[in-house]
Amino acid sequence: MCSIIGYTGKFTAASVLVESLKKMEYRGYDSVGIATLDSNNILIRKGVGKVREVDDSLQLYKMPGQVGIGHTRWATHGGISKSNAHPHTDCDNNVVVVHNGIIDNYQQLKDNLIKQGHIFQSQTDSEVIAHLIETYLKKFDIKQAIIETCKQIHGTYAFVAIFKSGLVAGARLDEPLIIGIGNNGNFISSDVLGFLEYTDKAIFLDNYDIVILDDKNINLFDFNGNAISRPITQVAWELGDIDKGKYAHYTIKEIHEQKNSIPMAFQINRSSLEKTVDIISSSKNIFITGSGTSYHSALLAKYLFYKFAKIRTEIIMSSEFEYVSGALDENSLLIAISQSGETADVLNSVKIAKQHKAKILSIVNISTSSLCRLSDHYVSINSGPEIGVAATKSFTAQLAVIYSIIDNFCTNNRPLDMSTSMFSNILNEILTDTSYLEKIAEDLKSVRDIYILGTSYHYPIALEGALKIKELAYIHAEGIAAGEIKHGPLALIEPGTIVIVLNPEDETYYNVLNSIHQMKSRGAKIIGISNKNNDLYDYFIRLPLVNKYLYPIIEIIPIQILSYYLAIKNNANPDYPRNLAKSVTVK
Ligand code: AGP
């Protein structure tokens, strides 16, 4: 997924664009580029690397002009190179474009354009947009040229183009594109973080919307060229949330923010909770979907729905959904879990479920996202901007919301027998001194494999912990249901193999000890995470004593911190893990 920003106004565009791209870099960071309009010339500078690196080497901020567009790329079609970096121009440098999404039919479009004499400079799919606009500008005005271009594209797109006239145009289909209305100019961006420093007034474009703007006017059109209007939304987040403050990285800042974000997530708006419970009660069968970390939240929900509400749910990984969606019908409910609300696999699942007339309930962090617009109802996890690519506070906030929903659903068998305000004290205890986790990271930093075991509702946490270690520290990690170790994975255990075991004192405790014995006798090194120490552990990570059903929310935190320290010790950048992006808005 990429980040796009366009600006037209009183300021020098380049410096505005560079700062905006830095704030959105978590969306993709293989290469960077900026184009500005200076007098009647379109200037372009672009290169491989992060914004700061490319800005230092090419002095992006010095580019003249008050109209411009910028882009950070997460490569899909075409390798990571200067020529494949955005922006891309047409043949005569009259129009320049930045794009987020995938153009499925780009090769056919490109072949046709080459036959018409167009010269391409990249291997990207995105470049075809510039040449299509060029073609249609020979017959139509900018608005119609944009519409005709969109009609040719099969796939997903959010693109912004600037022209020598100084106008800025944009269009979207299944990729976010947001207008920022500022006092000193207007913005068009893939993320509110791109303009939040200048304005909190935003227009969230819908699919098939076309926009043409300058520093004073914003004109929206539908696919037939008719003028349309969209509401102006005041974006709630304070800019302060996206500053690292005293922390070295967003990731560790957001891990520590959990002492506030978890209690906050438990405070769901009463009417929203009642509507959620009604929707669940009126559904005959419940499916839950998500990707990555959000899929792990879905798995935990399965255990909780069964244990406390005696409701059977079916969990389907979003990327697998289209292959097993036949069971949904008008009596079904699909619960879609997504931090960003823009993950293509999740949105695709929701669209398929709606084709089967299922109801959609979503659990999201960004309440202005596409997923919210597609849902019959959504519950916000309220954890504020999560900049670190690895999901941390959004995961535990998702869990808190799931617990709250089930707690309100099971009036006579509630899992939450404690005031959740106690959570802040408990989390303070875990987050205050993490030096012992840094020492463990020092011992583990060069290992090749780490296994994480958990049983029952600790198993999703084992999977999530393994994902954190993989994506932050680039160490192979595998989550395993503790009881399964003897059915094969035990063959991997040899003297010194590192095994983290989630083993608080609950109904899984003794079964998990059995699994630990089986590994210990084969030389494994055990890192026990529990409220109670045991001689079997080579390392012990203490958990505060809590209501035993709530351990899943807190036991992931030491693993998040351990993964962060492992990243640092392996010289990985925890905020921008290689090859990844914060929200994968492409399939
Ligand atoms: C989690 O650490 C990863 N960044 C990734 O697996 C993420 O959870 C997944 O892409 C889903 O994102 P979403 O919650 O925004 O839909």
Please state the atom number of ligand 1 nearest to the C-alpha of residue 583.
Answer: 15
Closest Cα to atom 9, ligand 1: which residue? 292
In the structure encoding, which two tokens stand for residue 65, read together?
A: 């002009």
Alpha carbon distance 267, 259 (integer Å): 14
Ligand 1, residue 467: give the atom nearest the CA.
2
Active-site option among 259, 468, 520, 582? 582
CA–centroid distance, residue 290 to ligand 1 (Å): 8
CATH annotation of 244-431: 3.40.50.10490
Distance CA(251)–CA(564), nearest Å, equals 8
Q: What local confidence, expressed as pLDDT, does residue 240 receive?
A: 55
pLDDT score of 237 = 66
Q: Is the CB of 463 under 6 A from ligand 1?
A: no
Every domain range in the chain assigned CATH 3.40.50.10490: 244-431, 433-574
Q: Which tokens is 336 given?
A: 């879609």
**Ligand 1 centroid, distance to 284 Cα (angstroms):** 29
- Listing DSSP states for 277-320 in one string gives HHHHHT-SEEEEEE-HHHHHHHHHHHHHHHHHH---EEEEEGGG
- Residue among 372, 584, 585, 586 to mutate when testing ligand 1 (max atoms within 8 A of CB): 584
CATH topology of domain 3-235: Glutamine Phosphoribosylpyrophosphate, subunit 1, domain 1 (3.60.20)
Atom of ligand 1 nearest to the CA of 391: 2
Cβ atoms 5, 102 nearer than 8 A: no
Cβ of residue 292 lying under 6 Å from some atom of ligand 1: yes
> Which tokens sit at 584?
């994968």
The finding on whether 574 has its CB within 6 A of some atom of ligand 1 is: no
344 lines ligand 1 (CB under 6 A): no
Cβ neighbours around 531 below 10 Å, total: 18
Asked if 582 is an active-site residue, the reply is yes
In sign, the C-alpha dihedral spanning 528, 534, 539, 545 is positive
Structure tokens at 33: 């580029």
pLDDT at 12: 96
Are 437 and 561 a contacting pair, CB within 8 Å?
A: yes
Phi-psi region of 578 (alpha: psi -120 to 50; beta: other; left: phi over 0): beta
Q: Is 2 one of the catalytic residues? A: yes
Residue ranges, comma separated, of all CATH 3.60.20.10 domains in the chain are 3-235
Give yes or no for residue 585 CB within 6 A of ligand 1.
Answer: no
What residue owns the CA closest to ligand 1's atom 6? 292
66 lines ligand 1 (CB under 6 A): no
Taking alpha carbons only, the member of 297, 331, 306 closest to residue 318 is 297
Centroid of ligand 1 to alpha carbon of 292 (angstroms): 5
Angle at 91 between CA 67 and CA 45, to 5 degrees: 45
Q: What would the DSSP string read from start to end of 514-576?
A: HHHHHHHTTTPEEEEEESS--TT-SEEEE-----GGGHHHHHHHHHHHHHHHHHHHTT--TTS
Q: What's the confidence (pLDDT) of residue 413?
A: 64
Q: What is the dihedral of CA 339, 343, 349, 352, to 10 degrees?
A: 120
Q: How high is the pLDDT of residue 419?
A: 62
The three-point CA angle 286-290-292 to 5° equals 150
The active-site residue out of 2, 150, 372, 410 is 2
pLDDT one digit per residue (tens) for the chain, 587 residues: 788 999 999 999 999 999 999 888 777 778 999 999 998 899 999 999 999 999 999 999 999 999 999 999 877 777 788 889 999 999 999 999 999 999 999 999 999 999 999 999 999 999 999 999 999 999 999 999 999 999 999 998 999 999 999 999 999 998 889 999 999 999 999 988 899 889 989 999 999 999 999 999 999 999 999 999 998 988 866 655 677 778 889 999 999 999 999 999 998 888 999 999 999 999 999 999 999 999 999 999 999 999 988 899 999 999 999 998 888 999 999 999 999 999 999 999 999 999 999 999 999 998 888 999 999 999 999 998 898 999 999 999 999 999 999 988 887 666 676 566 677 788 888 998 899 999 999 999 999 999 999 999 999 999 999 999 999 999 999 999 999 998 999 999 999 999 999 999 999 999 999 999 999 999 999 999 999 999 999 999 999 988 888 999 999 999 999 999 999 999 888 988 888 877 777 77
Find tokens 């060029």 and name the residue: 134
Report CA-CA distances (Å) from 275 to 21, 81, 230, 263, 269.
38, 50, 27, 21, 10
Atom of ligand 1 nearest to the CA of 345: 16
Cβ 471 under 6 angstroms from ligand 1: yes
346 lines ligand 1 (CB under 6 A): yes
Ligand 1, atom 5: closest residue by C-alpha? 292
Looking at domain 433-574, what is its CATH homologous superfamily? Answer: Glucose-6-phosphate isomerase like protein; domain 1 (3.40.50.10490)
Residue 338 Cβ < 6 Å to ligand 1? yes
Taking the CA atoms of residue 289, residue 378, residue 243 and residue 293 in that order, the dihedral angle to the nearest 10 degrees is: -10
Ligand 1 atom closest to 582 (CA):
4
Residue in 335, 343, 363, 582 to alter for ligand 1 test, most ligand atoms within 8 A of Cβ: 343
Q: With CA atoms as reference, report the closest residue to 40 among 210, 190, 166.
A: 166
Q: Which helix (H) or strand (E) holds 163?
A: strand 157-163
The answer to whether the CB of 586 is under 6 A from ligand 1 is no
> Is the CB of 350 within 6 Å of ligand 1?
no
Q: Are 467 and 438 in contact (CB under 8 A)?
A: no
Ligand 1 centroid–CA 576 distance in Å is 13
Q: Which atom of ligand 1 is nearest to the CA of 291?
A: 11
Question: Three-class SS of residue 22?
Answer: helix
H/E element, 95? strand 95-100
Q: Which atom belonging to ligand 1 lies closest to the Cα atom of 294?
A: 14
Nearest 10 degrees: Cα torsion 111, 116, 122, 125 = -50
Among 190, 254, 293, 345, the mutation site with the greatest number of ligand 1 atoms within 8 A of its Cβ is 293
Q: Is 584 in the pocket of ligand 1 (CB under 6 A)?
A: yes
Verify whether ligand 1 is closer than 6 Å to residue 434 (CB atom): no
